[in-house]
Amino acid sequence: MKEEYSAIAGSGAQVVAISADNLESHQRFAEAMGGCPFPLASDEKLEVARLYGVVSEDGRRSNRALFVIDGQCQVTLAIPWYQPGNMGQLMELFQALGLL
């Protein structure tokens, strides 16, 4: 999302990345990327992942997923197996944000 962040933020959307990693791991990740323009949140107990149905089969991680949630808290796009670099999924995201 770092490369697409400008376009996404330009649509008025906010980006939050959530993973099961702890905050220290997020900090190292952001530093390795040369900074991160959006917040990284920790879901070590997988509570959010369970709510969105994206806990891995082994129950120890969350799947890489993408959700667009509108101003009325409705999920308008759910990609439970998001693959960075998948142009079709990226186009779905841009369409859900009204960028296409």
Report pLDDT digits (tens) over 13-50: 999 999 999 999 999 999 999 999 999 999 999 999 99
Taking every pair of C-alpha atoms in the chain, what is the biggest distance, in angstroms?
37
Q: What is residue 99's predicted lDDT score, i.e. its pLDDT?
A: 92
Q: What is residue 29's predicted lDDT score, i.e. its pLDDT?
A: 92
Per-domain boundaries in the chain: 5-96
Question: What's the number of CA atoms in the CB half-sphere (13 Å) around residue 20?
Answer: 15
Q: What architecture (CATH level 2) is domain 5-96? A: 3-Layer(aba) Sandwich (3.40)
Report pLDDT digits (tens) over 62-71: 999 999 999 9
Phi/psi-derived region of residue 46, left when phi > 0, alpha when psi is between -120 and 50, beta in every other case: left
Q: What is residue 91's predicted lDDT score, i.e. its pLDDT?
A: 95
